[in-house]
Amino acid sequence: MSPYITDAAAWQESWDRQQEAYLPDREHRFEVMLDAVDAVRDTAPPRLLDLAGGTGTISLRALRRFPDAEVTLVDLDPALLALAAASLGDRATVVTADLGQPDWPATLPHQRYDAVLTATALHWLPAERLAALYAEIRDLLRPGGLLVNADHMPEDTLPELTGRLLARARERRAARHAAGAALSWSQWWDQAAQDPTLRPLVRQRHAIYPSGHSPEWNPPVSWHLGALSDAGFSEVGTLWRGGPDAAVVAVR
């Protein structure tokens, strides 16, 4: 049972501001993701899986665009899951599962989805595990259904420019943090730890992610396209690019 969070909307807003300081084009990538869902949907309400969905950012936007969608959100973080549950209520099924383990699909309410959507999350998994996860996701999709993964995925042919883009982005972010325009990742978590309802969940989170974050691994987009092809998808490609970030799409 989730704790009762009265101010979930305020936490959503501060999460969005915190994430946007790292990803200024965050909303655009979500829109492109939902355009892809729209392109493959049939007459039935779309069944969507928000993978490593955190506070429910993608689920909330998907439900705004497709009010009749059947949405499942999976994550491992107890604090973010509590915020997701408080914001989504009975409009989505919120599931606790570890994507680092191959048995995670058993926790889902359905074994067939029209689309699996994920953002800024799978770089927490090591290469071998992510390659296996891509195949597990394929098995959950109906034929013609799709996966979209938006994450840090540099363009292979632009190593020098990517470094420069990242350096500029760091400068702009530092200015926003210095001016108090947005909280940094660690400041956001410090703030959450001061909230009486979230505090015990943040403590549990520290036990799950002892370093505050799993290891980060950001291979170029070609790695993802190769791994998705190896996982047996029929069409794979880049759906969107924003500087050093991209969204790859894979159609079953």
Ligand X SMILES: C[S@@+](CC[C@H](N)C(=O)[O-])C[C@H]1O[C@@H](n2cnc3c(N)ncnc32)[C@H](O)[C@@H]1O
Contacts with ligand X by CB under 6 A lie at: 19, 52-54, 57-58, 75-77, 80, 98-100, 119-121, 124, 214
Shortest reach from residue 238's CB to ligand X, in Å: 19
Fill in the amino acid letter for 221. Answer: V
Judge contact between 232 and 138, C-beta under 8 A: yes
Choice between 73 and 221, CB closer to ligand X: 73
Alpha-carbon distance of 202 to 195, in angstroms, equals 10
Choice between 70 and 77, CB closer to ligand X: 77
Query: 98 CB contacts (<8 Å, ≥6 apart)?
Result: 76, 104
Alpha helices in the chain (DSSP H): 8-22, 26-40, 57-65, 78-88, 127-140, 159-179, 185-194, 199-208, 221-230
Choice between 48 and 58, CB closer to ligand X: 58
Shortest reach from residue 123's CB to ligand X, in Å: 9
Alpha-carbon distance of 94 to 70, in angstroms, equals 11
Q: By beta-carbon distance, which residue lies closest to ligand X?
A: 54
Shortest reach from residue 124's CB to ligand X, in Å: 4
Choice between 177 and 229, CB closer to ligand X: 177
Choice between 131 and 158, CB closer to ligand X: 131
Shortest reach from residue 99's CB to ligand X, in Å: 4
Rounded CA Rg of the chain: 18
Shortest reach from residue 15's CB to ligand X, in Å: 7
